[in-house]
Amino acid sequence: MNHAKTTTERIESIERELLEAMKTSDVEILDKLLHDDLIFLLSNGQTIDKKSDLDAHKNKVMILETAEFEQGEISIIDDCAVSKVKLTASGKMLGQPLSGEFHYIRVWKEFDGQLKVIAGSCIQTK
């Protein structure tokens, strides 16, 4: 069995699980997939942590109404993976309309068999 291929498939699958949790604001799944010490850089330069991300979904501050997902490159490095994702989305952020093409880089690391996002960033290109 090709370990890298299996791991790549796991990353693709868990990226889709993360997107579904973001679309439905499923805080329980997000809590499972985000590491407690997450550092995430937004396109405006602001850094958020896991609590901020979960609070945005709990309080419906971040609402994804539509989201088209395209998995990009995945690089496997030991028990970590770097994943590039393109998301064409619309919704609301802090009550303001949000629409465009967003590119994410996420760093996933395995902890006791569970993949978690430990770091990431997002830029809007359109």
**For every one of its 126 residues, what pLDDT tens digit does the chain have, with 9 covering 90 and above?**
344 455 899 999 999 999 999 999 999 999 999 999 999 998 889 999 999 999 999 999 888 999 999 999 999 998 899 999 999 999 988 778 889 999 999 999 999 889 999 999 999 998
Per the structure, the count of domains in the chain is 1
Domain that residue 39 falls in: 3-124
- Say which CATH number the domain at 55 has: 3.10.450.50
Contacts of 78 (CB under 8 A, 6+ apart): none
Q: What is the DSSP string of 40-99?
A: EE-TTS-EE-HHHHHHHHHTT-EEEEEEEEEEEEEEEETTEEEEEEEEEEEEEETTEEEE
